[in-house]
Amino acid sequence: MRRSLIGMLVVVVSLVAVFAASAGTTATKKLEATLTGKAENAPASNKGKVELRLNAATGKVCWEFKLSKIDGKAMQAHIHKGKRGVAGNVVVPLGANYKRQGCTTAAKALVKSILKSPGTYYVNVHNAKHPAGAMRGQLSSGA
């Protein structure tokens, strides 16, 4: 009886340790943004969406764009640091040239910061007509 009780206690303690360890790991998290030309002060009615998947443990940043309207060929896309209406520096280039989807890596501390306060970052897409940005959207937590 005593041995089975000790055995049960060891199992319970082991399970608690496993759950505690897994609670500290960072899984991939989804962020998204609705992109508009108006948010970028571009005169065009450009619009689209981007979904980001970020992993703070690895620094991996993956993206998928769905551009529904753009007045020219998309050339580049980036994650910038900046609140709504404020132009900020590029912190994560989403490829050297525009790609509808892909992955890159960034500093783990930067990815943690983006995940902690997504609304202080935005994504924009550039084209030849709007080199400063054809469309933009603030990041928010994904569903």
* Any domain includes 54: yes
Question: Taking the model in full, what pTM does it have?
Answer: 0.80
* Any domain includes 112: yes
Domain containing 121 equals 29-141
Decide: residue 56, CB within 10 A, 0-12 exposed, 13-18 middle, 19+ buried.
buried
* Any domain includes 5: no
* Any domain includes 79: yes
Structurally, how many domains does the chain consist of? 1
Q: What is the rounded CA–CA span in Å between residue 51 and residue 61? A: 10
Q: Over the stretch 36-93, which tens digit does the pLDDT of each residue have?
A: 999 987 677 999 999 999 999 999 999 999 999 999 999 999 999 999 989 999 999 9
* Any domain includes 15: no
